[in-house]
Amino acid sequence: MVEFIWDLKDSNQNVLLGTNLFTIIRLLTSADNKMMDPIISDYVDFRDVMKIAFDMYEDFKQAFLKVAAGDEE
């Protein structure tokens, strides 16, 4: 199984939040949002899961940068 851990740090590198990705998703959406941990059976599955994880990170980063720049819709 794979568990993604994301953390949030301030400009002094102090950890503000550090938890698994699924908890962060529930905090940003709703407590009813159920996500199962991915189960990896081989390296092809691992590659696919990692691609999705990095795509999610890029989406999150772009949304954050948009809000930080004041360009939110």
State the total domains in the chain: 1
Query: Sorting pLDDT into bands at 50, 70 and 90, what band is 68?
Result: confident
Instruction: Please report the pLDDT score of residue 38 as a whole number.
Output: 67
Distance (Å) of CA 60 to CA 42, 44, 48, 56: 27, 24, 18, 6
pTM greater than 0.85 (yes/no): no
Q: What is the mean pLDDT of residues 45-72?
A: 85
* 2, two tokens: 């794979």
Instruction: Please report the pLDDT score of residue 5 as a whole number.
Output: 73
Q: Which domain holds residue 20?
A: 5-68
Cα gap 34→65, rounded to integer Å: 27
Q: Residue 73: inside a domain, yes or no?
A: no
**DSSP letters of 5-69?**
EEEEE-TT--EEEEEEHHHHHHHHS-TT---PPP---SHHHHHHHHHHHHHHHHHHHHHHHHHHT
Model pLDDT for residues 28-41, shown as the tens digit of each residue:
777 676 766 667 88
